[in-house]
């Protein structure tokens, strides 16, 4: 049994889908890159993780 | 009829666009000019921008410009169809439906503005939103078919990108970004009217009130010279701000002298002379105007590069 060759329109649709797919991947990469930069530029991020971290305690309390 | 035959008949209808047809809706050649001028605006600003933020911002500015191009193609499909230069665009050629161009334009406009706001700041996003509105609504829908000064006012849309690039870096506007805006704004009329002088059939056939159609070719020639005279102080004035310097001044002086000479030659000619040599001078000025703008912004960039080595500026 032989498969029918692709119609020209299928090839065009494939091109469109691949193009859209690559565009979305590129968009996701841009968002990812921006997120990394924005988070890195916002300085060190710390939070209480069930244990008191001296670096986060206000100065007035520690003195 | 088998299902496959029925499917083939359905999908063989015209209007099945490829990816490149959607890219063509975004006017990639205009986008390249937008990318270049916005990038210069961003790089010559006194505030450094993280490369990733700069790249993303330029991308979203370009996307916004492309979106306004798609909206323009949706609205102008009827006149694009009768102009030789534009008749093969995706919408008048029947490859992409008008509604699709509208949807793509609106969606990309929203994405570009929101993403530019998130990547940089609200002023830059606001300026981009206004640029899209100005090009799609004020120029395309309102002025283009109403007044022969369409190019003059509509030129503002193409002049905003360096101002947006500057706003991405600094979060504000300044005399420098205003002068970069003014440079493109004042350059647009002589650039387009030189084109209109030798593409005369196109605009008159489409019924677009180009100056050549409404006021005649002699008046258009005078306008080219008048706007070029107004352009010169704007271009030279930028040399004495923080983005200019001796290199820019030298480049600008040479380019303005040549542009002024070309405009003066156009003004001196009449239609008989122009038709005799196939609009040679008009075509020369149109081509030169592209180099004129590119080299001015290139000189801004060069001054900024020299400044980083402690050499540029006054």
CB of B155 closer than 8 Å to CB of B184: yes
Tell me the percentage of chain B whose pLDDT exceeds 90: 75
Element at A62 (helix H, strand E): helix A59-62
Which of B19, B22, B52 minimises the CB distance to A33? B52
Pairwise CB contact (< 8 Å): A34 & B56: yes
| Integer Cα distance of B263 and B103 in angstroms | 41
Residues 6+ apart with CB under 8 A from A59: none
In the A/B pair of chains, how many CB contacts fall below 8 A? 40
* Residue B292: per-residue pLDDT: 97
* Residue A1: per-residue pLDDT: 55
In a domain, A1, yes or no: no
In a domain, A61, yes or no: no
Alpha helix positions (H), chain B? 3-11, 19-25, 28-43, 51-75, 77-82, 98-119, 122-133, 150-170, 175-198, 200-206, 211-214, 216-237, 246-268, 271-276, 280-308
* Residue A2: per-residue pLDDT: 61
Domain that holds residue A21: 9-42
| Integer Cα distance of B121 and A36 in angstroms | 17
Residue B223 has pLDDT above 60, yes or no: yes
Pairwise CB contact (< 8 Å): B12 & A19: no
Task: Measure B120 CA to nearest chain A CA, in Å.
Answer: 10
Give the model confidence (pLDDT) of B136-169 as tens digits.
Answer: 999 999 998 898 888 888 889 999 999 999 999 9
Tokens describing residue A48: 């209480």
CB of B137 closer than 8 Å to CB of B75: no
In a domain, A25, yes or no: yes
Report the mean per-residue pLDDT for chain B.
Answer: 91
* Residue B12: per-residue pLDDT: 45
Confidence of residue A50 (pLDDT cuts 50, 70, 90): confident
- Number of domains chain A is built from: 1
Which of A9, A20, A33 minimises the CB distance to B19? A20
* Residue A62: per-residue pLDDT: 54
Cβ of residue B15 closer than 8 Å to a chain A Cβ? no
In a domain, A49, yes or no: no
| Integer Cα distance of B71 and B137 in angstroms | 9
In a domain, A16, yes or no: yes
Which of B12, B17, B52 minimises the CB distance to A34? B52
In a domain, A30, yes or no: yes
In a domain, A53, yes or no: no
Q: Chain B residues with CB inside 8 Å of A35's CB?
A: none
Cβ of residue B19 closer than 8 Å to a chain A Cβ? yes
The whole-number average pLDDT for the span B42-59 is 96
Q: Please name the residue that has the structure tokens 């029947």.
A: B94
* Residue B253: per-residue pLDDT: 98
**Three-point CA angle B267, B268, B274, nearest 5°:** 90
Task: Measure B86 CA to nearest chain A CA, in Å.
Answer: 23
| Integer Cα distance of A53 and A11 in angstroms | 60
In a domain, A60, yes or no: no
Q: Chain A residues with CB inside 8 Å of B50's CB?
A: 37, 41
| Integer Cα distance of A17 and A22 in angstroms | 9
The full DSSP string for A1-60 is: --PPPPPHHHHHHHHHHHHHHHHHHHHHHHHHHHHHHHHHHT-------SS--GGGS-HH
Give the model confidence (pLDDT) of A4-22 as tens digits.
Answer: 777 777 777 888 999 999 9
Which of A4, A12, A30 minimises the CB distance to B16? A12
Pairwise CB contact (< 8 Å): A30 & B4: no
* Residue B151: per-residue pLDDT: 86
């Amino acid at each position: 049994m032989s498969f029918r060759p692709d119609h020209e329109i299928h090839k065009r649709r494939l091109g469109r889908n691949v193009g859209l797919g690559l565009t979305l991947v590129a968009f996701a990469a841009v968002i990812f890159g921006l997120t990394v930069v924005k988070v890195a530029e916002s300085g060190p991020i710390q939070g209480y993780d069930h244990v008191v971290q001296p670096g986060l305690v206000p100065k007035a309390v520690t003195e | 009829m088998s299902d496959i035959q029925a499917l083939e008949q359905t999908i063989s209808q015209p209007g099945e666009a490829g990816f490149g047809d959607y890219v063509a809706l975004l006017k990639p050649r205009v986008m390249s000019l937008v990318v270049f001028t916005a990038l210069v605006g961003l790089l010559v600003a006194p505030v450094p921008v993280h490369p990733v933020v700069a790249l993303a911002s330029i991308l979203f500015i370009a996307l916004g410009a492309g979106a306004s191009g798609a909206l323009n193609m949706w609205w102008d499909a009827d006149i694009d169809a009768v102009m030789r230069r534009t008749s093969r665009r995706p919408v008048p050629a029947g490859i992409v439906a008008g509604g699709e161009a509208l949807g793509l334009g609106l969606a990309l406009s929203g994405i570009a503005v929101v993403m530019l706001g998130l990547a940089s700041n609200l002023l830059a996003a606001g300026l981009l939103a206004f640029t899209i509105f100005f090009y799609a609504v004020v120029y395309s829908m309102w002025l283009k078919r109403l007044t022969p000064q369409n190019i003059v006012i509509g030129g503002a849309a193409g002049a905003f990108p360096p101002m947006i690039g500057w706003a991405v870096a600094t979060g504000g506007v300044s005399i420098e970004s205003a002068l970069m805006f003014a440079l493109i704004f004042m350059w647009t009329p002589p650039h387009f009217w030189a084109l209109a002088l030798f593409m005369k059939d196109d605009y008159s056939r489409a019924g677009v009130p180009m100056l050549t159609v409404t006021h005649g070719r002699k008046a258009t020639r005078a306008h080219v010279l008048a706007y070029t005279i107004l352009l010169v102080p704007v271009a030279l004035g930028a040399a004495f701000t923080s983005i200019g310097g001796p290199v820019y001044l030298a480049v600008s002086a040479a380019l303005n002298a040549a542009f002024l000479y070309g405009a003066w030659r156009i003004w001196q000619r009449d239609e008989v002379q122009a038709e005799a040599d196939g609009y040679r001078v008009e075509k020369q000025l149109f081509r030169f105007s592209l180099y004129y703008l590119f080299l001015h912004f290139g000189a801004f960039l060069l001054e900024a590069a020299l400044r980083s080595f402690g050499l540029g500026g006054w």
